[in-house]
Structure 1
Amino acid sequence: MTPGPAAATPTATHVSTRVDIALLGVRSDAPVRRAGGAGPSDDGHFIVNGEGAAIPLNPASPYVVTSSGRLTLDGADLGFDVAPVVRPAFYDLETADGINYEKIAKLHGKNVLATTVVQTCVRYDESERCRFCAIEASLDAGLTIAVKTPAMLAEVAEAAVRLDGITSMVMTTGTSNGWDRGAKHLARCVRAVKRAVPDLEIQVQCEPPADLRAITDLYEAGARSIGIHVESMDEDVRRRWMPGKSRVSMDEYRAAWREAVRVFGFNQVSTYLLVGMGEDPDELVEGARELIEMGVYPFVVPFRPLKGTLATDVDRVPAPHRSVLNSVTSRVAAMLQAAGMRGEDQRAGCVACGACSALKTAGA
């Protein structure tokens, strides 16, 4: 693949400010936000300088979004246009059997439809659970339903595209007991949505399936990018934060990433790397380098306290220091730029949206 043209060099001040508001939040209202779920945040959704951004709503934040749509710090204009994402029209609709569309899929960023097709996980017992995850909290609160059928998702996607200009969709899933770890149901859902709205770009997200042929099945169903999320490549961090998921070995992840790059292509495969779980920042950056060399985009995102997670409610782990996040983000962004990997070149998904990370602001 021929790399796209290099992005304009961002200013260090803009990157630092974007990191700050990702951690400290803003004082503002946000009609569109996400509560609970698998993470990485339950923030409000905004448009910041034309790009989607997920930002905590914090009444104590020093950063203020003014009524004129500017970001200020102690009254000083910081050079960011900021506007809350408008509540989408499809949220007001429901299926024939009375299920509100918002319980089936949600708006993320400015134009991304996102859904967790199975809102339960075999690893959700406290001894197994990923400590940053609250995938079943929104289910317990009645904000979603346990299983979204292909027909439901096709119905909601069609309405979201028609009414609200949705351009891409993300489908993730809790992990199942089967060999596919949830990929089979994802593939069924992708096929149904593509029949209803053929031009909608779709990303799928799942753990490495035991049989890697499932990756080809997802591509043939119509997905055009894939997230296989490891969160950390440090074995000690994985065992401490992801006791169940860490039993899926790094060798399995590497095999799945390589196969996914073969099937989906360079820069159409991604994985989350969470900053703030105790991993050495230099080692995290070196892990990102390995991923980039494979053609996998390391989506660097801060760990942020999410209500309903063990890390927040039991461990009381704070968000990372902004100097650490700023350094890691800038260093990984420079490597991505050198490799010709840009988030905007992904066909769909978290990287293409970019709302939960400062990498886009940093030029990646």
Structure 2
Amino acid sequence: MAEHDRRALGRRLTELQVHGVVDPAVPGNPGRRGGAGPSDHRALSIDGTTVMVPVYNALAGSSPYRLEADFSGGLQVSGTATACGEAGGETGGETMALAVETPPEPRFYGLTTAEGIPYRSIALLHGRDVLATTLLQTCIRFRDRTQSCQFCAIEQSLEDGRTLVRKTPAQVAEVAEAAVRLDGVRQLVLTTGTPNSDDRGARLMAETAAAVKAQVDLPIQAQCEPPEDPAWYRRMKDAGVDSLGMHLEVVEEEVRRRILPGKSELGLERYMEAFAEAVAVFGRGQVSTYLLAGLGDSAASLVAVSERLIALGVYPFVVPFVPIAGTPLEAHPAPSTDFMVAVYTAVGDRLRASDLRSEAMAAGCAKCGACSALSLFEAGPEPGTP
């Protein structure tokens, strides 16, 4: 696919992610409500690219896009694309009709442990071939919404009885083996709420990675806050963690205090120190961070911090903020398509210039890419293209 075509597809996918899609309760809908990770979403495949699209939140309910049957009996997303008006607001643009596919329900979802715990309560499929689990489905800050991350919905799936508060290493290893064998899963993402310990969840990551690698050869990304002792990076690596995610989410100091009141106690410079320490262990391009665009950071700030991260060898995974029902930010607007495309273009150009590519990561959200269109903007011209 030519660079222009990739970026055009990137804009169309961004449209769907920032506006959501009206989903008229398609039978067998495998979308995700609440919890950690891409919540209130479902996976759609468009032109061979899998994307997580909001379907359950208020944003999706008023979307100009609708998932419906096409003339051939398949599925399509149709609606009128937005365009930037003279005053900077979004107005009606071209009509868009995209053929889509939905991944089938994975076979491992039909299994249970010897104790009768459904495998899907332990780990879920993200996109087509990524297994993900939140090891600790709670956080030291969550119960106090004045201190919790304002977008967080980590305990929603726990309250609904759809998951466990703590997944053991043996449980995750059992599900991972089945997911690889039955559904061709190619990577595992381990996340966690932050426990009340100095390691910030690194111990959970190391113990679980070791158990999984003893059962199946599966690339693993771990995601946690920076541990106080940098020795944990080597411990995680030695246990079987292949790449690491430590998530800034937002970058401007005032925005961090407002959106991440508790987590912002670990300031931007502390994160930069932690990134350098982690890259020294995991290697350039094997450490990443989420940047949630649309929560108040300017495009210039997002691009400037991305430049710093890229220089350190850290992949800045820029994602449009999507409000989740039941959180303090459930009514917060998503960013505009034009804002996202401008940030994607600038960051993508810098990634390409530094030869830092999402596809080169061993595992993780950036490698999966389903929550962002950034990877479509990082690629240059095809070989041999003038």
TM-score over 0.5 (shorter chain): yes
Q: Which residue does 2:311 correspond to in 1?
A: 293
2:376 is the alignment partner of 1:361: yes
Within a 5 Å distance, the mapping from 1:206-217 to structure 2 comes to 206-217=224-235
Q: Quote the Cα distance in structure 1 between the aligned partners of 2:315 and 2:171.
A: 31
Within a 5 Å distance, the mapping from 1:34-45 to structure 2 comes to 34-45=32-43
Which structure has the larger Rg? 2
Q: Quote the Cα distance in structure 1 between the aligned partners of 2:218 and 2:64.
A: 39
Offset of residue 363 of structure 1: 3.5
Q: Which residue does 1:48 correspond to in 2?
A: 46
Kindly provide the amino acid, as one letter, of the partner of residue 278 in structure 2: A
Q: Deviations over 1:150-186 (max 9, x none)?
A: 0100110011111111010000111011110111011
Q: State whether residues 305 and 317 of structure 1, in contact with CA within 8 Å, keep that contact through their aligned partners in structure 2.
A: yes
Offset of residue 8 of structure 1: 4.6
| Percent of paired sites with the same residue | 45
Q: Which moved more, 1:319-328 or 1:67-76?
A: 67-76
Q: Deviations over 1:246-269 (max 9, x none)?
A: 011223211111111111111111
Kindly provide the amino acid, as one letter, of the partner of residue 68 in structure 1: G
Q: Select the residue among 161, 175, 180 that pairs with 2:180.
A: 161
Offset of residue 52 of structure 1: 2.1
Offset of residue 341 of structure 1: 1.4
Q: Select the residue among 185, 210, 227 that pairs with 1:191.
A: 210
SS of equivalent residue, structure 2 residue 214:
helix
Q: State whether residues 42 and 306 of structure 1, in contact with CA within 8 Å, keep that contact through their aligned partners in structure 2.
A: yes
2:199 is the alignment partner of 1:180: yes
Kindly provide the amino acid, as one letter, of the partner of residue 3 in structure 2: T
Q: State whether residues 43 and 126 of structure 2, in contact with CA within 8 Å, keep that contact through their aligned partners in structure 1.
A: yes
Q: Quote the Cα distance in structure 2 between the aligned partners of 1:192 and 1:130.
A: 30
Q: Quote the Cα distance in structure 2 between the aligned partners of 1:363 and 1:183.
A: 30
2:335 is the alignment partner of 1:320: yes
2:123 is the alignment partner of 1:105: yes
SS of equivalent residue, structure 2 residue 138:
coil
Q: Select the residue among 3, 20, 29 that pairs with 1:9.
A: 3
Q: Which residue does 2:84 correspond to in 1?
A: none
Offset of residue 282 of structure 1: 0.9
Q: Which residue does 2:236 correspond to in 1?
A: 218
Q: Quote the Cα distance in structure 2 between the aligned partners of 1:194 and 1:173.
A: 19
Offset of residue 27 of structure 1: 4.1
The number of aligned residues is 354
Kindly provide the amino acid, as one letter, of the partner of residue 334 in structure 2: A
Offset of residue 82 of structure 1: 2.0
Offset of residue 64 of structure 1: 4.2
Q: Which moved more, 1:266-275 or 1:39-48?
A: 39-48
Q: Which moved more, 1:331-340 or 1:162-171?
A: 331-340
SS of equivalent residue, structure 1 residue 262:
helix
Offset of residue 98 of structure 1: 1.1
Q: Which runs of 5+ in 1 are unaligned?
A: 1-6
Q: Quote the Cα distance in structure 1 between the aligned partners of 2:212 and 2:98.
A: 36
Q: Deviations over 1:68-104 (max 9, x none)?
A: 3454446988585521111101111111111111110
Q: Which moved more, 1:73-82 or 1:117-126?
A: 73-82
Q: State whether residues 246 and 288 of structure 2, in contact with CA within 8 Å, keep that contact through their aligned partners in structure 1.
A: yes
Instruction: Give the TM-score normalised by structure 1.
Output: 0.92
CA RMSD of aligned residues (A): 1.9
Kindly provide the amino acid, as one letter, of the partner of residue 339 in structure 2: V
Q: Select the residue among 255, 258, 276 that pairs with 2:276.
A: 258
Within a 5 Å distance, the mapping from 1:115-126 to structure 2 comes to 115-124=133-142, 125-126=144-145
Offset of residue 40 of structure 1: 4.5
Kindly provide the amino acid, as one letter, of the partner of residue 146 in structure 1: V
Within a 5 Å distance, the mapping from 1:211-360 to structure 2 comes to 211-312=229-330, 316-360=331-375
Kindly provide the amino acid, as one letter, of the partner of residue 326 in structure 1: V
Q: Which residue does 2:15 correspond to in 1?
A: 20
Q: State whether residues 93 and 100 of structure 1, in contact with CA within 8 Å, keep that contact through their aligned partners in structure 2.
A: yes
Q: Which residue does 2:85 correspond to in 1?
A: none
Q: Which residue does 1:68 correspond to in 2?
A: 74
Q: 1:340 to 1:297 in 2, by over 3 A?
A: same
Q: Which moved more, 1:45-54 or 1:160-169?
A: 45-54
